[in-house]
Amino acid sequence: MKNTLVDQILLGLTFVVMTLAVIWGLGIAPPDALQGDVQRIFYFHLGCIWPGFLAFFFVLFCSVRYLMTRDLIWDRRALASGEVGLGFSTMVLVTGPIWAKPTWGVWWAWDARLTSMLVLWFIFLGYVILRFYLDDARVEARLRAVLGIVGATMVPFVYMSNRWFETQHPKPVIAGGDDSGIKDPNMVIALVLALAAFTLLYILLARIGTYLFKTDYQIKDLKSRLHILEDESR
């Protein structure tokens, strides 16, 4: 794959911001008064999920564009974004229980937030692996677009679930009312850096993914051309 200047800048920026996020999250930000060092998991936990949700919203946008235009480029963009979103959601579903065990005493609770997040993860798992089960690119893209829209419309529910229901999951840190939020400026910097690092990473990985899916479809086109040429030469 060709490395464009934009990709190189993105890669450099992601590396720098990610390094700063790790330094701030693990070193400079003070430990939480109640939870201690284990609270530091939160920076990457939240840092992953915001770009993850962004990825799913981009899937929604591209899927709608695909259904309107039937241009496969939108399907490729949506799929690349969905893959990265699935990866980030996996990180959230792994880091969450690792934080929960020392804090709640259990790895998992079947509350509205955790369960809806798991359902969202399964929807996007299906969304990503759909391409291994269908041969017709158009049918596959149409089905995927519908699944992507259904999955992405679940995101607001996941986000609001700990406001609408009583959950084991903590109340929102951002815009969660007077009592919520982090007060220490170094904790805020650690969170902002993690959010920026994972957002940059999302953009970079989604760009690479889109390029690779384009190449994949290019190969499929070449395959059909090759079949025609082979038939002619017989």
Partner 1 sequence: MNYLIAAYLSVWVILAWMIGTLMQRNSRLTKQLKEMEARIAELEQASGTQETSAK
Q: How many residues bind partner 1 (CB under 8 A)?
A: 37
Check binding of 216 to partner 1 (CB under 8 A). Answer: yes
Check binding of 106 to partner 1 (CB under 8 A). Answer: no
Q: Out of 121, 191, 209, 210, point to the residue binding partner 1 (CB under 8 A).
A: 209
Q: Which of 115, 203, 192, 101 is nearest to 157 (CA)?
A: 115
Tokens of 49: 């999920």
Q: Distance between CA atoms of 117 and 114, rounded to whole angstroms?
A: 5
Check binding of 91 to partner 1 (CB under 8 A). Answer: yes
The nearest distance, CB 209 to partner 1, in angstroms, is 7
Q: Distance between CA atoms of 57 and 184, rounded to whole angstroms?
A: 31
- The three-state secondary structure class of 174 is coil
The nearest distance, CB 179 to partner 1, in angstroms, is 25
- The three-state secondary structure class of 72 is helix
Check binding of 23 to partner 1 (CB under 8 A). Answer: no
Question: Which one-letter DSSP state was computed for residue 172?
Answer: P
Applying CB under 8 A, the span of 55-63, 120-128, 157-165, 224-232 interacting with partner 1 comes to 224-232
Let me know the angle formed at the C-alpha of 123 by 121 and 126, rounded to the nearest 5 degrees. 110
The nearest distance, CB 30 to partner 1, in angstroms, is 14
Tokens of 159: 């986000």
Question: Which residues lie below 8 Å from residue 194, measured CB to CB, with a gap of 6+?
Answer: 21, 25, 43, 44, 46, 47
Applying CB under 8 A, the span of 49-57, 93-101, 113-121, 174-182 interacting with partner 1 comes to 93-101
Applying CB under 8 A, the span of 42-50, 108-116, 129-137, 184-192 interacting with partner 1 comes to 42-50
Check binding of 127 to partner 1 (CB under 8 A). Answer: no
Draw the binding track, 44-63, toward partner 1 (x: CB under 8 A; -: no contact).
xx--x---------------
The nearest distance, CB 216 to partner 1, in angstroms, is 6
Nearer CB in complex with partner 1: 70/225: 225
Rounded (10°) angle between helices 185-233 and 5-23: 150
Question: Which residues lie below 8 Å from residue 134, measured CB to CB, with a gap of 6+?
Answer: 140, 143
Tokens of 117: 């997040």
Q: How many residues does the chain have?
A: 234
Residues of this chain that bind partner 1 (CB under 8 A)? 1, 22, 26, 37-38, 40-41, 44-45, 48, 84, 87, 90-91, 94-95, 98-99, 101-102, 201, 205, 208-209, 212, 215-216, 218-219, 222-223, 225-226, 229-230, 232-233
